[in-house]
Amino acid sequence: MTTEIQIYSALLQDIKARIHCGQLKVAHSISTELTEMDWDIGSMIHERQQKEGWGAGIIPMISK
């Protein structure tokens, strides 16, 4: 009986490790995507400010 418990204990530990690894990969992917999205949005706003000039009220218009 003890051997059976040890076998399933090892399996459970492997499953937990795999879940944790998957969670870390997902968190990293989300973080990467959010950083890229923020960079793209900043670039879009910057381009518009370059075209319309500083003080054109781009941020207030977007926030409305």
Q: What is the pLDDT of residue 58?
A: 86
Q: Which sign does the torsion angle of CA 54, 58, 63, 64 carry?
A: positive
- Residue 56 vs residue 15, higher pLDDT: 15
Q: What is the pLDDT of residue 7?
A: 80
The model's pTM: 0.65
Q: What is the pLDDT of residue 1?
A: 58
58 in Cβ contact with 52 (< 8 Å): yes
pLDDT tens for each residue of 17-64: 999 999 999 999 999 999 999 999 999 999 998 998 887 888 888 888
